[in-house]
């Protein structure tokens, strides 16, 4: 199966939801509406016919949380997202892929980047109990304009949370970064 414009992917480990702590089997969310419990990692089965980027079949990719999601329609029927083909096959647009991993190394395609929130103790700007408001450290960036570890400020409401290798990170577009501090 090959698509002209969509990536063909499957959920990592065949699971639509990442709602358990595997070591002890504890379920931390039983709700299909909980977007934080949906699987955000996939394996690329096929790339689009007219795609010329760096992502290849076999790469692990970080994707939008709605791709594998189940939901109830207006009549209360359980439905899969429009991305669903069959239980282990989904389609995905290029702009729904935020990061990819090959040979153990994460990379981000343009126009995305990942920023790690900094502790509020490192800043006088506090948004909640733990993190500084609108500040973070660059963790993944698609070019040489910024280096890993650079402190940046970003626009409000652009923080889209992901857990990458056990660390909380914000996915955002490069245009959302306001300045290097």
Residue pair 4/26 in contact by the 8 Å Cβ criterion:
no
Neighbours of 170 (CB within 10 A): 19
pLDDT for res 25 = 57
The pTM of the full predicted model, rounded to 2 decimals, is 0.80
- Give the separation between CA 158 and CA 73, rounded to whole angstroms: 28
Q: Which residues contact 80 (CB under 8 A, 6 or more apart)?
A: 69, 70
Please state, as a whole number, how many other Cβ atoms lie within 10 Å of the Cβ of residue 112: 20
Domain spans, the chain: 7-106, 110-180
The pLDDT profile of the chain, 181 residues, written as one tens digit per residue, is 789 999 999 998 877 656 555 555 545 455 555 555 566 889 999 999 999 999 999 999 999 888 888 888 899 998 888 999 998 899 999 999 999 999 999 999 999 999 999 876 555 555 555 566 788 999 999 888 888 999 999 998 898 888 888 888 999 999 999 999 8
pLDDT at res. 5: 93
Q: Is 110-180 in CATH node 2.30.33.40?
A: yes
- The per-residue pLDDT for 135 is 87
């Amino acid at each position: 199966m090959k698509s002209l414009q969509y990536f063909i992917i499957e959920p990592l480990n065949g699971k639509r939801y990442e709602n358990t702590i595997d070591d002890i089997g504890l379920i931390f969310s039983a709700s299909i509406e909980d977007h934080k419990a949906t699987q955000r990692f996939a394996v690329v089965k096929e790339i689009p016919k007219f795609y010329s980027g760096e992502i290849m079949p076999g790469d692990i990719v970080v994707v939008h949380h709605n791709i594998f999601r189940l939901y109830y329609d207006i009549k209360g029927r359980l439905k899969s997202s429009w991305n669903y083909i069959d239980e282990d096959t989904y389609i995905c647009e290029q702009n729904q892929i935020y990061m990819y991993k090959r040979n153990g190394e994460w990379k981000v395609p343009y126009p995305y980047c990942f920023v790690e929130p900094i502790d509020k103790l490192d800043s006088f700007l506090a948004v909640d109990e733990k993190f500084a408001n609108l500040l973070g450290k660059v963790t993944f960036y698609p070019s040489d304009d910024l280096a890993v570890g650079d402190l940046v400020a970003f626009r409000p409401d652009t923080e889209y949370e992901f857990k990458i290798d056990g660390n909380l990170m914000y996915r955002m577009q490069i245009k959302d970064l306001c300045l290097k501090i």
